[in-house]
Copies of this chain bind each other. A is one copy, B any other.
Amino acid sequence: MKRVFIKNNVAVILVFVLLTGGNCFAQSPSTITEDFKPSSVNQSGKEYPQVNSEGRVRTQISAPDAKYVQLDIGGKKYDLVKDEKGVWTGESAPQDEGFHYYQLNIDGASVPDPGSLYFYGASRWGSGIEIPAKDQDFYALKNVPHGQVIELPYFSKTNNSMRRCFIYTPPGYDKDTQKRYPVLYLQHGGGENETGWSAQGKAGLIMDNLIAEGKAKPFIIVMDNGTWSMQGPPRGERPAGGEWPPKGWADGFTKTLINDIIPMVDANYRTLADQKNRAMAGLSMGGMQTRVITLANPDVFSHVGMFSGGSISMEDVEKSPGFKEKNKLLFISYGSRELENRRAGFGGDPKENTNKLKEAGMNTHFYVSPQTAHEWQSWRRSLYQFAPLLFNK
């Protein structure tokens, strides 16, 4: 009896220590695997942030007069600990494989980490980190023939202003100047911009590697800015029964794409400028835009991809004359964690929608990225799965 009592007491003390530790540190230090290495997207020569084999992020910053410093990643804030020289260090819980946005919080100020490269997301230029993924080889920088990513300023009549787009041309584009190529219009998500697919999306490297292995036909990719402001209340204040997003939300970018971007690209690059050689795809908000724009313009686009951005239902197809007959490929994808969290629900179940269209004779594909959420690793993998299916018929 006494022995049991002692045992229980030890257990209680252990639990107490762990809980107390939890208030001071993000993780009890003894549980952290000490194999941290600088992140692959650090600034040149910077030792921090680092990542370990568990996917934890460790960062470090000198802030001798700060009261507190936190690492803000994946929707959680982790306290850093100060040493005698005023240098703060701390770790996050393990993160999913792939790319994540994050920031530091110094005495209430949200700022980028001076150690990382910066990426545009969450409506700001801010820090990014790369958790090495088991399948990272498909977007690795290798000594294979490389395409070029072009930054081009151009004038948009629709917007009566200068705009900027990025254009990927495949390896050899500037050598054989007789050859013409199909085009994929590829859109970013909400709070992101025209830099996303090339920088954190690694679209150019994914294509270079696919083409080098003979897995995808070479094509041009156009990445423009699809940011739109909705005429409606913010997410928390939307009427329960109201239509969301409101009708017409994609009109601005639709006009810019159809009237300005596509003619500009066809006039300046060696494109195959017809429906059967033109695709559109996008992630999240870009997927929703792809849905609206391709359903309404079946004579413009033949191949369609929506990554974590809803799906197309039989009802959608029935309301869009010509879409079923003229579409050559419909690719729908999600991160597995999105499906677990039922985040993929709007517009009906995406897998069920996609299967019904396949049964009705359409060339549809449904892809799930294993163990990833609404993040770039899902979208890199989606492009890697989608690109080989393009312009094959």
A residues apposed to B, CB below 8 Å: 43-45, 61-69, 86, 104, 106-112, 114, 117-118, 123-126, 141-143, 146, 148-155, 162, 167, 174-175, 177, 193, 198, 204-205, 208, 227, 268-270
The answer on a CB contact under 8 Å between A111 and B118 is no
The answer on a CB contact under 8 Å between A152 and B146 is yes
Interchain residue pairs with CB less than 8 A apart (15): A43-B124, A63-B107, A65-B108, A66-B66, A66-B109, A67-B67, A69-B109, A106-B107, A111-B111, A117-B125, A146-B154, A148-B151, A148-B152, A149-B151, A153-B205
A48 CB to closest chain B CB (Å) equals 13
Known: A124-B43, A149-B151. A67 touches B68 (CB 8 A): no
Q: Which residues of B contact A114 (CB under 8 A)?
A: 110-112, 124, 126
Select which of B62, B108, B141, B227 is within 8 A of A162 by beta carbon: B141
Q: Which residues of B contact A177 (CB under 8 A)?
A: 177
A112's closest neighbor in chain B, by CB?
A: B112
CA distance A116 to B349 in the complex (A): 41
Q: Which residues of B contact A153 (CB under 8 A)?
A: 141, 146, 204-205, 208
CA distance A150 to B168 in the complex (A): 9
CA distance A180 to B126 in the complex (A): 40
Question: 9 closest pairs, A vs B, by CB?
Answer: A63-B109, A177-B177, A65-B107, A66-B107, A64-B108, A65-B108, A111-B111, A149-B151, A143-B155
Q: Which residues of B contact A198 (CB under 8 A)?
A: 151
The answer on a CB contact under 8 Å between A174 and B111 is no
The answer on a CB contact under 8 Å between A43 and B86 is no
Q: Which residues of B contact A227 (CB under 8 A)?
A: 44
CA distance A65 to B269 in the complex (A): 53
CA distance A146 to B268 in the complex (A): 11
CA distance A137 to B79 in the complex (A): 48
Q: Which residues of B contact A269 (CB under 8 A)?
A: 174
The answer on a CB contact under 8 Å between A106 and B66 is yes
CA distance A205 to B65 in the complex (A): 43
Q: Which residues of B contact A63 (CB under 8 A)?
A: 106-109
The answer on a CB contact under 8 Å between A175 and B268 is yes
A106 CB to closest chain B CB (Å) equals 5
Q: Which residues of B contact A106 (CB under 8 A)?
A: 63, 66, 106-107, 109, 111
Q: Which residues of B contact A65 (CB under 8 A)?
A: 67-68, 107-108
Q: Which residues of B contact A69 (CB under 8 A)?
A: 109
A97 CB to closest chain B CB (Å) equals 23
The answer on a CB contact under 8 Å between B270 and A174 is yes
Q: Which residues of B contact A208 (CB under 8 A)?
A: 153
CA distance A154 to B148 in the complex (A): 10
CA distance A108 to B88 in the complex (A): 11
The answer on a CB contact under 8 Å between B174 and A66 is no
A178's closest neighbor in chain B, by CB?
A: B177
A115's closest neighbor in chain B, by CB?
A: B124
Q: Which residues of B contact A123 (CB under 8 A)?
A: 44-45
Q: Select the residue from A66, A67, A86, A175 with max chain B CB neighbours within 10 A.
A: A66
A171's closest neighbor in chain B, by CB?
A: B268
Known: A150-B150, A174-B268. 4 other contacts (CB 8 A): A67-B107, A106-B111, A149-B150, A174-B270
Known: A141-B162, A143-B155, A153-B146. A118 touches B125 (CB 8 A): yes
Q: Which residues of B contact A174 (CB under 8 A)?
A: 268-270
Q: Select the residue from A110, A153, A268 with max chain B CB neighbours within 10 A.
A: A153
